[in-house]
Structure 1
Amino acid sequence: MTTTRSGPTLAVIGGGVIGGICALAAADAGWRVHVYDDGPTTRASEVAGGMLGTLGEGHPGEDDLFALSVESTALWPSWIERLGDAGIATAADSLFVATTAADGEYLRQMAQFVWAQQIPQDRLTPMRAAQIRAVEPALSTRVNSGFLASGEGALDNRRLLAALHAAHGEAGVHWHRMRIDDVADVRADQVLVAAGMGTPALLPDISLVPAKGEILRLHRNRYSVGVPQRVIRARVEGHNVYLVPRADGVVVGATQYEPFADDDRAPQAGGVADLLADATEIMPGLRTYDLAEAGAGIRPCSADALPIIERVDDRTLVAAGHGRNGIVLAPVTAARVVALLGA
């Protein structure tokens, strides 16, 4: 049942996960919301693994980002409930695994000096090779050590987008399939720009750096081994690969490098080859899966890796620069945007 509202109006430019969750949070807070979106082609959230954990995407020195991720991850269960689940959640835990002694030492260093500062010790369990294969038997015998991180789950990014869109309809959020080239052209009491890499064109004072990332979607067939029950985050001879469960298979990711141009969203053969090689090294049975999609997106990154969530002027707000952490940081972004709207 669609809700009719009579409060102030908010225009949200951008219909990805960030714009979508902010629009729904504002509608829940009593705003009349209109979303302006020019389609899925440029959305970073269309090409994503959907991990909700705080550990795998953080690096030493990013303490503020870690803390923000912890805060936001804690908000996700209520949002999943708000969206009616709809098969959004695909895993509850993550396995961090290593294939060499050097990889194992890297994980131990991260666990001792970085991860232990962010999550309680009882959520991080060291595991030997036999223990790892006991819970995920399809993993390679090359896996020699790792950690089980409970609560480091994942969502299906595309089901999440669909669920947000459905919730918008029920909450009275109006969608407009159109491109906005000037914030001044939008009629609303307040305007939120959440347009990813399209944000600087609308707000020239907002500086973002594009980072291209490739992912693969592999579908299980009748000859395939089962889908992992957990997110698998592997360290393979010094570099990283993740396998994220989906109802029909796994998402494999992800590369990250500077694109040739802002619209460079074609997956490159080298990136696809590297991902496939690392994924099948960790889970050999993936060789029997069907390669359903090779995709690439442009992540909008800020200079300090922290999202830009602020008021630009009396009428305009921005939520951008989430980089590789858009989905995990979506709830805390929505909370801050609603707070700014009320200020």
Structure 2
Amino acid sequence: MHTLAASSSITLLGAGLLGRLLATSLARQGHRVQIFEAGGPEGVGSAAYVAAAMLAPLAESAVTEPGVVRMGQHALERWPALLAQLPAPVYFQRNGTLIVWHRQDTPDALRLRGLLERTQTLLPTLPHMQTLDAEGLAQAEPALAHRFGQGLLLPGEGQLDNRQLLAALEQDMQQLGVQVHWHSPREVSDFRPGEAGQPDWVLDCRGLGARTQWSALRGVRGEVLRIHAPEVTLVRPTRLVHPRYSIYIAPKENHLFVIGATEIESDDRSPMSVRSALELLSAVYTVHSGFAEGRILEMNTQCRPTLPDNLPAIRMPQPRVMEINGMYRHGFMIAPALHDVALELLEQGQSALAPQFDLSLQYTA
């Protein structure tokens, strides 16, 4: 496999979360970087723009594989270093994840706890889950005192502000001299890497925009609310166990809350359905009645790029071309791991990290 030479010319396709992370890291290393993006600098068209940006490896282990959980552990330690390089502050905290449920949903909560306990047995380096009674819950999350009789606290898990991060990365690209081409979609086939006058490498991070190259990709729709609720003072991401869907509430700065739950096998990006809005709003009200006086700032939909096994993959379909995709619902939780593996592959031709994450590396040329 070819590796990067000093001051290589690199073209990235897609300026979502991973594209921006790689662009800034490669430019910081002294490479000549340009990036082509179908949308604008705000990142509105990317899944990262709508996401809650939770970093919850143990909580997500209920729906994913151990390799992804290890990527999440890696991300919790890597994000502070990545954020420290940026020219603007990005909200980041590790107050843990709280899981609560209503009495009638106790059987579903017990099943979830069993799944999380199995993960902790398999991955003992994860912080140990804590079972909370009503008093412990009130101490851990005073805003929910007297609202629930029990809960689970997953220590060490975290979150960040997705839009602050996208903006800080965009500013960093400008300062590092990355040539950014907004509203300029490109295909891998538009380039002949390695030839005279062409980039040395092409990295494709387009998510669903890469379906012309990666036919197995599909969209998984999510529907998300952004609410300003001054009466609510939750200090950590909170998840409500429910027999049909589990909602999450991710508190950001200044009483802003990102709330979501739905996961639909569709790449339909039409506005949120009335049913989804009613279900989200009624469920979040049962967590904290203060949401009733909140203001709905946005009702968003997004489609997450997903491969058949719901796991991320990196492939090299031809010399000097790398495609990274399939982050599914775990974008912010696994992006640092994919970023680090991609850099290892570019610099060394192999990755010591990839086996730790059970990450699929596909060499077809």
Normalised by the size of structure 1, how large is the TM-score?
0.89
Q: Partner residue of 1:118? A: 123
Preserved CA contact (<8 Å) 1:244 1:250: yes
Q: Partner residue of 2:211? A: 200
Q: CA deviation digits over 1:194-230, x for unaligned, max 9?
A: 11101122x1x4521210001100013xxx3233111
Q: CA deviation digits over 1:22-69, x for unaligned, max 9?
A: 112222233211111121342111110010121222236722222232
Preserved CA contact (<8 Å) 1:99 1:237: no
Q: Partner residue of 2:67? A: 64
Q: Partner residue of 1:252? A: 259
* Counterpart selection for 1:217 from 222, 226, 236: 226
Indicate yes or no: 2:62 matched with 1:53. no
Q: CA deviation digits over 1:6-29, x for unaligned, max 9?
A: 811111111111111111222223
Counterpart-to-counterpart distance in 2, 1:71 and 1:108: 23
Counterpart-to-counterpart distance in 1, 2:10 and 2:73: 28
Q: Which runs of 5+ in 1 are unaligned?
A: 1-5
Q: Partner residue of 2:10? A: 10
Report deviation, 1:341.
Answer: 1.7
Query: Looking at both structures, which has the greater relative contact order when contacts are Cα pairs under 8 Å and sequence separation is at least 6?
Result: 1
Q: Partner residue of 2:194? A: none
Q: Which amino acid aligns with 1:169?
A: Q
Preserved CA contact (<8 Å) 1:57 1:324: no
Query: What secondary structure is seen at the aligned counterpart in 2 of 1:254?
Result: strand
Between 18-27 and 234-243, report the one with greater CA deviation: 234-243
Indicate yes or no: 2:313 matched with 1:304. no
Please report the RMSD computed on the Cα atoms of aligned residues, expressed in angstroms.
Answer: 2.1
* Counterpart selection for 1:146 from 137, 144, 151: 151
Counterpart-to-counterpart distance in 1, 2:100 and 2:336: 28
Between 292-301 and 171-180, report the one with greater CA deviation: 171-180
Q: Partner residue of 1:243? A: 249
* Counterpart selection for 1:233 from 228, 239, 250: 239
Structure 2 CA distance for partners of 1:310 and 1:92, relative to 1, 3 Å: farther
Q: Partner residue of 1:179? A: 184
Counterpart-to-counterpart distance in 1, 2:121 and 2:282: 31
Q: Number of residues paired by the alignment?
A: 331
Between 100-109 and 10-19, report the one with greater CA deviation: 100-109
Structure 2 CA distance for partners of 1:317 and 1:206, relative to 1, 3 Å: farther
Q: Partner residue of 1:335? A: 340
Q: Partner residue of 2:361? A: none
Preserved CA contact (<8 Å) 1:212 1:298: yes
Report deviation, 1:301.
Answer: 0.7
Counterpart-to-counterpart distance in 2, 1:210 and 1:42: 13
Query: What secondary structure is seen at the aligned counterpart in 2 of 1:109?
Result: helix
Preserved CA contact (<8 Å) 2:96 2:153: yes
Structure 2 CA distance for partners of 1:263 and 1:113, relative to 1, 3 Å: closer
Preserved CA contact (<8 Å) 1:218 1:290: yes
Normalised by the size of structure 2, how large is the TM-score?
0.84
Query: What secondary structure is seen at the aligned counterpart in 1 of 2:55?
Result: coil
Q: Partner residue of 2:283? A: 278
Structure 2 CA distance for partners of 1:122 and 1:58, relative to 1, 3 Å: closer
Q: CA deviation digits over 1:126-151, x for unaligned, max 9?
A: 11122212332322745232222221
Preserved CA contact (<8 Å) 1:233 1:241: yes
Counterpart-to-counterpart distance in 1, 2:297 and 2:306: 28
Report deviation, 1:331.
Answer: 0.8
Query: What secondary structure is seen at the aligned counterpart in 2 of 1:239?
Result: coil
Report deviation, 1:71.
Answer: 2.5
Q: Partner residue of 1:319? A: 324
Counterpart-to-counterpart distance in 2, 1:322 and 1:23: 18
Counterpart-to-counterpart distance in 2, 1:168 and 1:121: 34
Preserved CA contact (<8 Å) 2:62 2:116: no
Q: Partner residue of 1:3? A: none
Counterpart-to-counterpart distance in 1, 2:287 and 2:141: 11
* Counterpart selection for 1:189 from 191, 200, 203: 200
Structure 2 CA distance for partners of 1:76 and 1:26, relative to 1, 3 Å: same
Q: CA deviation digits over 1:300-331, x for unaligned, max 9?
A: 01111221223221121111110001111111
Counterpart-to-counterpart distance in 2, 1:188 and 1:174: 13
